[in-house]
A and B are shown apart, each in its own frame.
Chain A
């Protein structure tokens, strides 16, 4: 896996300047559905880097909005492809912008969940989506590659039933330790979920602490 990332480093990709992007006011163009786009640096760089890192079958669909801003969408063939793909993006000087775990109903019926990783490539946003099983979901930690993935992954772990393998600091981030694990996957009373900021749970806790003292 490592040797792949070395090769991707050889693909020079000059970041797009604002002028090189689509002319203003142009509608979403032929990127979707395999038209013949004017292949720009980012598009070509990402395609070759991902193909090397995650396998030839990895395709990225690019969309361009009316202002010429690019968003790329890619489904990784497997969870194992995430780490090499992330390394390839780090080589392209990409920045991890956000991680979105979610349970769409459609994939839940198939027994799956999804996590979307959003990367910024000098203004263009590339989203890599991985599909994981509903139970015993495991995903490698990207924190060793992108330091700012730390909080993103800690939040992911406490809200969803996903194990992040190799996270350097897998503590709870926002939620109190007394709250049941993975509240986004089961019904949790609202006052409990919001750290008992309001309502009966808070009152009970205050009284409880007074009795302890």
Chain B
């Protein structure tokens, strides 16, 4: 059989961030894959050691736009763990609100991009329109459509006034019907089924071996959600199901995302209903002692992990983080094997890759 090697760029992969693939083809089918990262390597792990802990919140928020609340909140959780800072209950809920708003927007963006990748432009527009409700909510509450700047060490730096809470509750009400509709569409629409069902399959055993996380893992039947397994913030008091599917294909990954977006709506409503009164942040912070800590959170794409080591100064000795996309790239080797070239952009986007996060 005719074997050749092609190189695919971000544009050909329908990605909005730079990533290159070297693909070995047998006929028109993918035989092997080499991922070539590093195009947006900004040396951020080096930069964080040259800034103090407070400056790092700002820097980490700019790590990537879609996970831009998960990074600073998880980093703050790591600092709080080292210093034994207890954040006020209201702050715990407000952090969850910011996280869930970002999760809905991120999941919808991913589903929209995939609709675009298979040429369903009307659906792409529809999903982006629904997402726009969340973008407007972000702008109204945080003053920004992407970076929310919601976190500080010891709590949050924004409050929900009663008017803002009412506005957010109304936005959540507006999301429910469209999200249910989208779930049915991605689940049952024959055109979407034809392009997404049984495409890019990741069997459960391979998912365990590649140690994938987030919706990619949950679509293979691995019910791992950091919010449930290692609860943080307000999540130990909120009710939600861990959304799982078993097929491990593109369709299953999208159904997990849409189910989670729907749950996020409910989580935000629970937060608004339970929101306790009180301060937004711990008003006096202790000296940050020497120590080490692990902080984990469920970012939109899956488990985000931070390791912080301090020596008593304001600068971290080491700050390392591992983003959910980091292992998911490797799983593409399994998902793409035997697939036609035409399916590559769809399958690559179905893992919701985050390149700025991967490269740092």
Instruction: List, in ascending order, chain A residues with CB within 8 A of B81's CB.
Output: 65
Would you call B145 an interface residue if the criterion is a C-beta within 8 Å of the partner chain's C-beta atoms? no
Would you call A151 an interface residue if the criterion is a C-beta within 8 Å of the partner chain's C-beta atoms? yes
Instruction: List, in ascending order, chain B residues with CB within 8 A of A116's CB.
Output: 307
Least CB separation from B296: chain A residue: A125
Would you call B46 an interface residue if the criterion is a C-beta within 8 Å of the partner chain's C-beta atoms? yes
Instruction: List, in ascending order, chain A residues with CB within 8 A of B51's CB.
Output: none
Would you call B317 an interface residue if the criterion is a C-beta within 8 Å of the partner chain's C-beta atoms? yes
Q: Specify the main secondary structure of chain B where it touches its partner.
A: mixed
Would you call B60 an interface residue if the criterion is a C-beta within 8 Å of the partner chain's C-beta atoms? no
Least CB separation from B326: chain A residue: A151
List A residues 40-64 near B (Cβ within 8 Å): none
Instruction: List, in ascending order, chain A residues with CB within 8 A of B321's CB.
Output: 98
With beta carbons under 8 angstroms apart, the residue of B293, B318, B330 that contacts A151 is: B330
Least CB separation from A184: chain B residue: B46
List A residues 164-207 near B (Cβ within 8 Å): 172-176, 183-184, 190, 193-195, 197
Would you call A138 an interface residue if the criterion is a C-beta within 8 Å of the partner chain's C-beta atoms? no
A173 and B330 contacting across the interface, CB-CB below 8 Å: no
Least CB separation from B47: chain A residue: A190
Q: How far is the CA of A50 from the CA of B40 in the complex (A)?
A: 39
B294 and A173 contacting across the interface, CB-CB below 8 Å: no
Instruction: List, in ascending order, chain B residues with CB within 8 A of A146's CB.
Output: 211
Stretch among B7-15, B61-69, B229-237, B260-268 lining the A interface: B229-237
Instruction: List, in ascending order, chain B residues with CB within 8 A of A68's CB.
Output: 231
Interface size class of A (residues with CB under 8 A): 35 or more
CB distance from A49 to the nearest CB of B (A): 19
Interface size class of B (residues with CB under 8 A): 35 or more
Would you call A11 an interface residue if the criterion is a C-beta within 8 Å of the partner chain's C-beta atoms? no
List A residues 19-47 near B (Cβ within 8 Å): 24, 28
Instruction: List, in ascending order, chain A residues with CB within 8 A of B317's CB.
Output: 102, 104-105
Would you call B276 an interface residue if the criterion is a C-beta within 8 Å of the partner chain's C-beta atoms? no
Q: How far is the CA of A194 from the CA of B86 in the complex (A)?
A: 37
Would you call B359 an interface residue if the criterion is a C-beta within 8 Å of the partner chain's C-beta atoms? yes
Instruction: List, in ascending order, chain B residues with CB within 8 A of A125's CB.
Output: 230, 294, 296, 305
Q: How far is the CA of A96 from the CA of B305 in the complex (A)?
A: 12
Instruction: List, in ascending order, chain A residues with CB within 8 A of B42's CB.
Output: 194, 197
Instruction: List, in ascending order, chain A residues with CB within 8 A of B322's CB.
Output: 97-98, 152
Instruction: List, in ascending order, chain A residues with CB within 8 A of B40's CB.
Output: 197
Q: How far is the CA of A69 from the CA of B227 in the complex (A)?
A: 11
Would you call A80 an interface residue if the criterion is a C-beta within 8 Å of the partner chain's C-beta atoms? no
A148 and B327 contacting across the interface, CB-CB below 8 Å: yes
B38 and A195 contacting across the interface, CB-CB below 8 Å: yes
CB distance from A46 to the nearest CB of B (A): 15
CB distance from B143 to the nearest CB of A (A): 28
B307 and A193 contacting across the interface, CB-CB below 8 Å: no
Instruction: List, in ascending order, chain B residues with CB within 8 A of A106's CB.
Output: 311
Q: Which of B230, B232, B293, B326 has the most CB of A within 10 A?
A: B230
Proximity bits, A69-99, B CB within 8 Å = 1, else 0: 1010100000000000000000000011110
Would you call A161 an interface residue if the criterion is a C-beta within 8 Å of the partner chain's C-beta atoms? no
Least CB separation from A126: chain B residue: B294
A123 and B229 contacting across the interface, CB-CB below 8 Å: yes
Q: How far is the CA of A184 from the CA of B296 in the complex (A)?
A: 25
Instruction: List, in ascending order, chain A residues with CB within 8 A of B292's CB.
Output: 73, 127
The 4 closest A-B pairs by CB, nearest first: A123-B229, A174-B38, A102-B318, A148-B211
